[in-house]
Homo-oligomer: A and B are copies of this chain.
């Protein structure tokens, strides 16, 4: 969990304090110079940490004033690369709908797998993500089998797929590309998400990029956005 970089440590430290309520919404974080003194780093390093927090939407920064803690709302902030469990604060439950198994690369996909990937076998699994007792998201994932030996024989680390990739295979998620659509729920999706068939659900096709060049993780998400809309925060670091 410990980040290896100085700025990463400061970043995680401040994030924890925000999440725990040491800083309330609207509060000012310590200034860059104060962070320099507290962590014994230069301003460049302190700035980097704050810039990251801004990118993640935890703070906004104002020239001449400081770093202001942003409002966090009741949304699923999965438009960044953070995992589901990490972005949704409250009680999250995951139900494995179909356990990881070898599968063919399906044809109908927004992103076409690279040449490297199609020669390898493909692992597929799907999960239902719930907040409390209400199902909010059905997630199907695909990844090439050759980089994750004995993936199917073991349970996920802490129930988290991303953590499993990181801890067990040293694969980090570095970014994502997403295509978002509003579609009609088919029968299967409707039953799982507790919505009527043909009612509108959010469909997101994701290609996650990883620290392994040319190695991607693909996901299809179906979301019931009635109670929990998808959230996104963007701050231009300018």
Contact = CB atoms under 8 A, between A and B. Distances in A.
Chain A interface, >50% SS class = strand
A200 B177 contact: no
A184 interface: yes
A232 B79 contact: yes
Q: How large is the interface on A (under 10, 10 to 19, 20 to 34, 35 or more residues)?
A: 35 or more
B231 A202 contact: no
Contacts of A205: 229
Contacts of A236: 55, 80-81, 173-175
B225 A60 contact: no
Given A200-B200, A201-B200, A209-B60, A80 B181 contact: no
A8 interface: yes
Contacts of A146: none
Contacts of A233: 175-178
Given A8-B238, A177-B234, 10 more contacts: A73-B177, A174-B236, A178-B233, A179-B230, A182-B182, A182-B202, A182-B203, A202-B202, A205-B229, A209-B235
Interface of A: 8, 51-52, 55, 57, 60, 62, 65, 73, 75, 79-81, 110, 173-184, 199-203, 205, 209, 213, 223, 225-226, 229-238
